[in-house]
Every structure is written in C-alpha cells, then in structure tokens.
Amino acid sequence: MLRFVDVSQAMADDEEIKTAFSFFDTVSGKYLELDGTQVFESEEELRWCHTMHNSLYYTHEIERLIWLIPDDYFKLLKKAD
C-alpha cells in the first residue's frame, strides 16, 4: 500500500519551506523512486518523473499517486509563507 508523506519540513532550508513530498510503499518498506527521484516538489515534477521512469518491477498508476496527495496540500504551504 502506498502512503503520501509530507517531507517539507525535513527538506526546508533556513529561509523558506517549499513543498516536498514522497510516497512510502508499506509492502516493500521503501520509498517509491521514479527516475532516480524519491522527493517531489510539484505534481508536474511527479508526472514528469513517472513518464521518464520505466524500470519499476511493477508500475504505479500516476492517477493513483496524484489521488494520494491531499486536496489542499499545495494551498496550505502557500499560506504558511
């Protein structure tokens, strides 16, 4: 089962917090990696990495990953700025 993980705080530098998220696969016990990337900053980046990646032992549907991102995730971080 895949889980959305907000890693914005962990990836923040001293000046600002940017969106940063990952997906954890509870079956394999590993973070999902697409095209060598485990942390994504936007839906667009996630889609690009998903398109470029083709060597997973099983394929994750991109819409399933998008669905796991909370509806207000990007809005909440913009308000925090």
**What pLDDT digit, counting tens, does each position of 6-37 carry?**
998 777 676 676 789 999 999 999 999 988 89
Question: Domain limits at 34?
Answer: 2-80
If phi over 0 gives left and psi between -120 and 50 gives alpha, with beta otherwise, what is residue 19? beta
Predicted confidence band at 4 (pLDDT cuts at 50, 70, 90)?
very high
H or E segment at 51? Answer: helix 43-52
* Residue 40 scores a pLDDT above 50: yes
**What pLDDT digit, counting tens, does each position of 53-69 carry?**
655 544 567 888 999 99
Give me the number of domains the chain comprises: 1
Q: Which residue has the higher pLDDT, 76 or 37?
A: 37
